[in-house]
Structures are given as structure tokens and as C-alpha cells.
Amino acid sequence: MKSLFFATILAYGLILPGLFFACNGNESMSEANSRNVADNQLSDNENYEKATFAGGCFWCMETPFEKINGVKSVISGYAGGEKPNPSYDEVSSGQTKYRESVQITFDPEQISYEKLLSIYWMQFDPTDAGGSFYDRGHQYTSAVFYHDAKQKELAEKSKTELAASNRFDKPIVTPIIEFTNFYPAEDYHQDYYKKNPGHYQRYRKGSGRDAFIKKHWGDKKMSSNSKYSKPSDDVLREKLTKLQYYVTQEDGTEPSFNNEYWDNKKEGIYVDVVSGEPLFSSTDKYKSGTGWPSFVRPIDPEFIIEKTDFKLLYPRTEVRSKYGNSHLGHVFDDGPEPTRLRYCINSAALRFIPKEELASQGYGEYLKLFEKIN
């Protein structure tokens, strides 16, 4: 079980006991019976391939791959053990040979296995043979499970190149192992970052994963998402209105009930007015009564940064965009289900893209957000 090491860890100046109970929960009998070997869920498209990686907590290993063009699905689960259809409780006990893993279905014509490997190495500490950050035990150790001889060759080559880069002070210990089996984890573990964004973000930060990635891969991580960047101040002053500049660059706040999107009911997504990063969806928007656009979650937590704000007499959690570094607003814990969060955002920090224009404006991948409601 993910440890409660952290009852003594200070976060935002407060002790947050129990914060880092991570991949844990209760599985119903129906969920257990519905889980099958992932190979039974293969796409009918025979051109698709599989990649299976372990890098510690599978919650944190889903997000880096799901937004990659060419990746068709990412499933959290358990790989490399012997007992059929293991449960989370069994795997987390450390008494099985399974590792928490993710299995990726991808189109090799759109993204190569080599590219997936390069993304994989950037998500965890490959020098840790005893677990992953605060999660200790074999079940949290890393591994590349190759599906064929070509994958084995490419995985070993990438591991050798990583070791030769001298990016780490210790030897690379991640093993390259032949794939034998994979069982999807319980439903509540799938897309956990979407279902529980607040806890997910606190866990990533508190476990040390985010700090480690920033320390060792900050330069690479930024360049891999270079499609979203912040223009120079001269460009911003010319591009933005006075209010947009005041809000995004000077941490200002626009008037409530007198802004562009507080009562917008159209379907679409909201992107950073500075960088274009996709931030929020109309599917997560609700009427909070505050007079500002309010959302229960971001589209992707990877594009959001949260900081403690002491500008008032009490601390608040500021929300900023990751690559544009725009001040967006604040997040509060008084929102509705399913997250109980309220992302209170300034309209001036956003640009709205209607659903029917997503593809033409380069955001076609987000059309899937609206498939279930139409």
C-alpha cells in the first residue's frame, strides 16, 4: 500500500496527514469480475502495437502518454506476475511479482516505439531499485516489458544511451524484461488524474516525482511541448488588451458578472489567451453564482500550476498556466461533485474555441470530450 510516510511533511506551511494515500480504494465484486487480460481489449486495427512500462504509481504514468498524438489508449494495470487477475490489494501487499504498470496501444505510423521510450525515461527515477519515490517495494519498481525482439533491441539501446548521457549520478537499474502478462487495474484507478485532479496533483508533488523530473529533465520537458510558449513582453503588450495584460501578467482580477465568459453556455474549450494551452472545457463548466467562469476540473492537469497566494489575509491557491505562466485565477474546495473543486477563472485569461472550430484551429483531439454527451 502506498505509504503514509507523510503525516509529518509540510505542504503550504501546513501538516497534511494522510495526503499521500495514493493508488488505493475499494473494489466491488462486479469490478473484479469485469477485469480481463488487456490483450482481450486489443483494437481491431491489426496495425496498432503495444508498449508496456512500469515506472512507479500508474496514476502518474498515464498522463504523459495520453496526450501524445498516435497513442490510442493507456491502461493502468499489473504486469509481470503469476497469479491470474490480481487485485490491487494483492499487488500492493508486495507479496506478488507484479509491478504497477501502464499498457499503451499506439499507431506506429504516427508515433514510434523509440519516442515512447524517450517519454518513458523522463517520468521516474531509473536509478531506484527499491521502489519509486515514497512508494517502496517491488510492486513500485520500474521495468520495460518488451513485446518482441525489435522492442527489446530498442529498449536496450535507449537504456544504454541514457546511461551514457551522464544525466544521473547513479547507474540505471531499470530492467528490460520479456512481456508475459498484463491485467488492467480496477476502474477507479483508470484516468485517476481526471477523476480526482486535486488529490492527483498533491500526490505527484508530495511524493517528490515532480521535483525530480524538473531537476533532471526540465530542459527536455519544456522543449517537448514547445508548441505552447510565452511570447515576449513586447508582443504581449501588442497582442493583449489592457485588461488581458493586467490579469495574466500582473495577477489582476476582472470584475465579476462583467466579463466575457461568466455566462457562456456554448460547447467548446477554453485556452490560455497567451500561449494557447488547452485549459478548461464547457463540459466541466457550471454556474457558481460568483460571476466568473467556474469549472470542476481542468482538461489536463499537466497544463496547470498551483501556487499558494498570500495577497489577502488568508492563503489561497492560485492557478497559472504551465507554459504561458499566465495568472488564471484561483481554485477552491467548495465546488460540486465529482471533484468538489471550483476553478474560479478570469475570462480575460481565456480564449474560447467553439466545438465546431476545434479541428480547424488545431484542437481536434479534444472533440472526444463531447462524444459522451451528444
Q: List the catalytic residues.
A: 57, 344
DSSP codes joined into one string, 103-147: EEEE-TTTS-HHHHHHHHHTTS-TT-SSEETTEESGGG-EEEEES
Q: What are phi and psi of 347, to 5 degrees?
A: -60, -35
The angle, 0 to 180 degrees and rounded to 10, between the axes of the packed helices 149-164 and 113-121 is 40
> Distance (Å, rounded) from C-alpha 240 to C-alpha 243?
8
The CA–CA distances, whole Å, from 308 to 11, 157, 170 equal 10, 42, 34
> Distance (Å, rounded) from C-alpha 368 to C-alpha 365?
7
Alpha-carbon dihedral of residues 273, 276, 281, 284, nearest 10 degrees? -70
> Distance (Å, rounded) from C-alpha 308 to C-alpha 304?
14
Among 263, 264, 243, 262, residue whose Cα is nearest residue 254: 243
CB atoms within 10 A of CB 303: 22
Considering just the CA atoms, what is the radius of gyration of the chain in Å?
A: 21
CB atoms within 10 A of CB 178: 12
Among 228, 223, 237, residue whose Cα is nearest residue 321: 228
